[in-house]
Structure 1
């Protein structure tokens, strides 16, 4: 390392000599200092809006218990008795995040599932410094949304905006608690809408923004310039773990839908229609003469399903649900999956040259297909393959409908859309078959599956 000071001094001296040479040849000018701008000029500021809404954004502290990583020998009771080793207790771990008060009267606070997941104690700190214990009402891993409740007077709630009305280029403001520093405000624009395929969550329809979002901002508010909540800040895409201008937020429309179900049931009761769907690619659009039509193409219809009873057919293109446009397969899946079972919906369908509206009833999702916790498929949401899907690939199997980010299933390499046809060379035709096959918890699980029309083998340890 070298000292730049001598060089800087040399540059300064040279400048002074040059300046002196000029002063000998010209008349010195009188120095002028710029005065303040005229009082009639008002500078643009977000301060009035922020003063109104920032009391609704809170800091969340979570205490959880983490297992102690140790030598496997320490788990042997004989080894511990021989060396008189004490029992190792789980360590307390503290984490921090953000939340948004959405109902002041009832004390409801929206945040992320990953902020409170595994927490044994949750506390909320308001902008005025009050610290309050929080009760977890419910949490949904698939959308990364959780709902807390606090009891206090004089709370401030934020008004919910219409995230579906957002456009790329709209200005937005992110408010949260980055790195535990305390409430922080950053601004940017909506960079993109409807982001999916990031494997962050099971149901993805993210708002992308370049407003700075950093660790600790999770669960915080993404608001418009008029102070309305349009998103819950959730994740960033960064090679270093800090903001590089690519942040993601769960749209308020999805967050509020999940919140209402958590209030009513303590969980999200997802629905299904019984259809296989896919995006409309340029090749499909040309082959089916769809032009620039946007929507989701129905690839198959399960016999006896709600879609079958409603009269939906393979080749139909769903362009809207209850009058709201559908932009692709992910959009349709999200809308159906977050609609409570028993709800009646109206689908706008393009069939050939005709457009028609089809009424359908959302059926309850098979719970047996959603719970594979404690197995090698932990984090995967599965169901039995339909007859049409089985005929298409020439085998029965289990379809992976969704994968939770960071789960064991995700680390194994499973993807949404995979169809598992065999486990350790034993054919599986249903989720029940899959459970029986892995009931003995083998050390190595070899999965034979079909992905994008081809067969491959995955190994889980």
Structure 2
């Protein structure tokens, strides 16, 4: 490189470092200043080297200083009863139940200055005693206002004479992939810890931790004890509650999951108002649009969730959705599977309306769907069958979406289900089991419990032949039972 070129480069570097305002001689640079500067900025993509000691000392400390006081440790104590081993009772005689004390540790976030704390349900599940320790080492006894295993969230309350520090909620949908985030909690009980990372993904639905799976994924280190802690953005706002990790060793592998703020707010609001979380029910069975389905429907790419079935009279059916419609988005957020759709719908309170974007016959339409609870029609009408018949000793009930939800079975299932079977009864002898659905009895279709009682009352006690059809684990079984 000749001396003139070296001089030109040195002059440009010196001018930039000193913040010189005078233009550099074009003869030295070989190009107009504006053109050279434009190329430099384009090549650098507006990146800047730290120009001062202050910039080189940038830190998350101001965010942590504001957020950390609102993150607490939650100590849970469970007392369980167990009986002594029968082998020892043979020698020492009957013994009273023995108590086992189990303790676990998690984290929580103060979301209201009156002492309202949100954490994970699995942190406080079956707890007989709860103790909350603040960042400043103050301790409080806590009570559970609401615990919901379906969302894996719980809301606690502590009694305090002065307002507690809180974390403000982030706006729904504010988190974006690539955002810097901080995870604050108490991993392994070592004390409050802060880790940093980014939002790795949004809308993770195949995690299998809750019924309403729709997680924020982050690579900020999350370990046992972080459950219930805060995931915080760079504005010092709560964007999620840390809930689970993906790990084969039990430690952090850089794949952690947080429940989004939309569901957190919904649960906290329910706890502070009604004290009960009533989950809405869409009444549509959805399936992911695969490449094969997209080709069959003439779509240019897989997108959305296909409506495969609708429950008569459900919110989706009443709003005019049809089988074959493709749900693209709910309230402006894209959905691609049933879990995502159920989550978006469940973040709305009962009585509100959710905006569905649907593709039908190649056209995109918007449909407002009211948020409703699962219907409880028909009434369960639980009855234990008596008399001389193959169902004697079986407790039967009518199925409905609401009752099915309580039982934890397919909400679309209908008919009559066996809830329990008495030991030594006719139903036990013939092999009926809880969970069986009674489909036919004496060649009559069974839709309600009253259909069973009608058939039984219409037969005399000397009847020995009973044709019956049941469904067990999706398989139809037909037999003729003889008394």
TM-score clears 0.5: yes
Residue correspondence of structure 1 range 275-424 to structure 2 within 5 A: 275-292=284-301, 294-365=303-374, 366-372=401-407, 380-385=408-413
Q: Offset of 1:198 from its aligned partner?
A: 2.4
Aligned to 2:111, the other structure's residue is in SS state strand
Deviation at 1:140, TM superposition (A): 0.8
2:80 paired residue among 61, 66, 72: 66
1:214 is paired with a residue of what secondary structure?
coil
Deviations 1:75-133 (A, max 9, x none): xxxx57x73454133222221110001111x2111100000001111111111110011
Q: Structure 1 residues 163 and 248 mapped into 2: Cα distance closer, same or farther (>3 Å)?
A: farther
8 Å contact kept, 2:83–2:98: no
- TM-aligned CA deviation for residue 384 of structure 1: 4.0
Residues 426 and 109 (structure 1), Cα distance of their counterparts in 2 relative to 1, 3 Å cut:
closer
Larger radius of gyration: 2
Match of 1:246 among 251, 255, 265: 255
Which structure 2 segments of 5+ residues have no match? 1-50, 375-400, 418-431, 440-445, 453-469, 478-483
1:432–1:369 Cα change, 3 Å: farther
Bigger CA drift: 270-279 or 341-350?
Answer: 341-350
Instruction: Give the alignment partner of residue 128 of structure 1, picking from 124, 136, 159.
Output: 136
1:50 aligns with 2:59: no
How many Å apart are 1:45 and its aligned residue?
0.7
Judged with a 3 Å threshold, the aligned counterparts in structure 2 of structure 1 residues 308 and 163 are, in CA distance, closer, same or farther, namely: closer
- Select which of 208, 218, 228 maps to 1:219: 228
For each residue in 1:282-328, what CA deviation from the matched residue of structure 2 results, as whole angstroms up to 9, or x when unmatched?
11111112223632211112223222222111111122333443343
CA contact (8 A) 1:195 1:205 kept: yes
Structure 1 residue 238 displacement after superposition = 1.2
Residues 225/346 of structure 1: CA separation in 2 closer, same or farther (3 Å cut): closer
What is the distance in 2 between the residues matched to 1:290 and 1:141? 38
Secondary structure of residue in 2 paired with 1:240: coil
Tell me the SS of whatever aligns to 2:154: strand
Alignment CA distance shift 1:100-1:299 (3 Å): same
Residue 151 of structure 1 aligns with which residue? 159
| Cα distance in 1 between the residues matched to 2:108 and 2:340 | 26
Determine the structure 1 residue equivalent to 2:146.
Answer: 138
State the alpha-carbon separation in 2 of the partners of residues 279 and 319 from structure 1: 11
Q: Under a length normalisation based on structure 2, what TM-score does the superposition of the two structures give?
A: 0.68
Q: Larger relative CO (CA 8 A, sep 6+): 1 or 2? A: 1
SS for the counterpart of 1:63 is strand
* Contact 2:116–2:158 (8 Å) recurs in 1: yes
- Could you list the per-position Cα deviations for residues 403-459 of structure 1 after superposition, in whole angstroms to 9, with x for gaps in the alignment? xxxxxxxxxxxxxxxxxxx958954469998xx9xxxxxxxxx99434xxxx799xx
Structure 1 residues 236 and 39: alpha-carbon distance in aligned structure 2, compared to 1, 3 A threshold = closer
**1:232 partnered with 2:267:** no
Residues 318 and 326 in structure 1, CA contact (< 8 A), matched pair in contact too: yes
- Shift of the 330–38 alpha-carbon distance from structure 1 to 2, 3 Å rule, reads closer
Is the 8 Å Cα contact of residues 140 and 268 (structure 1) preserved in structure 2?
yes
Q: Distance in 1 between matches of 2:435 and 2:233?
A: 54
SS in 1 for 2:223: coil
Q: What is the root-mean-square deviation in Å for CA atoms of aligned residues?
A: 3.0
- Aligned partner of 1:184 in structure 2 is 193
1 CA distance for matches of 2:174 and 2:447? 40
User: Judging changes above 3 Å, is the alpha-carbon distance between structure 1 residues 217 and 354 closer, same or farther for their aligned structure 2 residues?
Assistant: same
| Cα displacement (A) at 1:46 | 0.7
In the alignment, the residues of structure 1 paired with residue 203 and residue 139 of structure 2 have an alpha-carbon distance, to the nearest angstrom, of 36
Deviations, residues 328-357 of structure 1 (Å, cap 9, x unaligned): 322111122443333333322211122222
Q: Distance in 2 between matches of 1:227 and 1:282?
A: 41
Call closer, same or farther: CA 1:83–1:169 in 2, change over 3 Å.
same
Matched, 1:257 2:266: yes
Aligned mates of 2:338, 2:84 — CA distance in 1: 45
- Secondary structure, counterpart of 2:340 in structure 1: helix
Q: In 2, distance between residues paired with 1:169 and 1:136?
A: 35
Count of residues in Structure 1 that have an aligned counterpart in Structure 2? 361
Q: How far apart are 1:53 and its partner, in Å?
A: 1.0
SS of residue matched to 2:98: coil
Give the TM-score of the pair, scaled to structure 1: 0.71
1:192-250 superposed Cα distances (whole Å, 9 cap, x missing partner): 22112222211111111111111111100011122111111111111121112111111
CA change 1:272–1:240 in 2 (3 A) is: same
Structure 2 residue aligned with 1:29: none
Query: Which position in structure 2 is the counterpart of 1:90?
Result: 99
Question: Secondary structure in 1 aligned to 2:73?
Answer: strand
2:173 aligns with 164
Following the alignment from structure 1 to structure 2, what is the Cα–Cα distance between the partners of residues 175 and 318? 36
User: Does 82-91 or 199-208 show the bigger shift?
Assistant: 82-91
